[in-house]
Amino acid sequence: MKNVKFIYNPFSGENAILKDLDTVIKTHQKKGYTVIPYRISYDTDIEKAFEDLDESYEYIIIAGGDGTVDTVVNCMKQKNINLPIAILPVGTANDFAKFIGMSEDIEKACNDILSSTPKCMDIGKINDKYFINVASTGLFTDVSQKTDVNVKNTIGKLAYYIKGIEQLPSFRKINIKVESKEEKFHGDMYLMLVFNGQTAGGFSLAYKAELDDGLLDVIIIKAVPLKDLIPLFIKIMRGEHLEGQNSIVYFKSDKIKIECGENIVTDIDGERGPNFPLTIECIHDGIKVLGIK
């Protein structure tokens, strides 16, 4: 018997996965797999999804956005579960699934998963939590946390942009200290992002990021005059490389330490992160993933 654990978030992306449940089961049954589903909800413990795991399970499918994937991966790490994962991108934010080339067509994604072999890839760790795409701090990093779930599921990414505009009056400099072997930064910034993936909110920022190089991509947007940020924002909107911009610091590292004395939050793929001080590190080949192109 070949079993597959299927953990799905029915609330992700306007309930997108619900119409494709049969597709997931059908495509796997054709290949001799039995799909064992577990439905994520607000009143159930994710740990229950793993209570029946035994040697018959081949891998774990996760249907949801980046935050859902993080939740499952963190639970797997806590329980020392080393099964490969596969991601069906059905959430509002699917930055990491796009980075690894997963199709938004569920049947195609399932077939890609079934025809692939597991590949080891890096994951990030921020203090005692893991993340797959990006950890961030500074302005706008709590937009997802403050966005009503029902609104997010109804109008998608537009909800993030609306909430971001609401926060413009709070635009201010934030003093931060960042240290790594490769770079030291102690000064004022607006935003800092530490990528394991490449994109945030659909914008390609960490264009140098790789799946398995053992390094995280760090981007600090410095607190320069707003007029000096305009060229940077234009490059971001166009998807262009960010070299040559005095308003940013961009480097790669396997471990970064961050201190900040101000009352700001951290964010891990749209969910609340730990408090300062932070140690962020790359866990090389930290997880096995199916379906990677």
Pick from 167, 132, 196: nearest CA to 264:
167
**Position of tokens 């635009």?**
171
| Strand runs labelled E in the chain | 2-8, 33-39, 57-64, 85-89, 119-126, 129-131, 134-138, 174-179, 184-195, 199-200, 203-204, 216-222, 248-253, 255-259, 266-268, 271-272, 278-289
DSSP H or E run through 95: helix 95-99
Distance CA 78, CA 219 (A): 29
Distance CA 192, CA 206 (A): 12
Please, what is the Cα angle at 196 between 186 and 46, to 5 degrees? 115
- Radius of gyration of the CA atoms of the chain, in A: 19
166 is catalytic: no
Q: How many helices (H) and strands (E) does the chain have?
A: 8, 17
> How, if at all, do strands 216-222 and 184-195 pair?
antiparallel
Pick from 242, 143, 152, 155: nearest CA to 198:
242
Q: Which of the following is catalytic: 14, 179, 183, 271?
A: 271
Distance CA 64, CA 20 (A): 12
Active site residues: 271
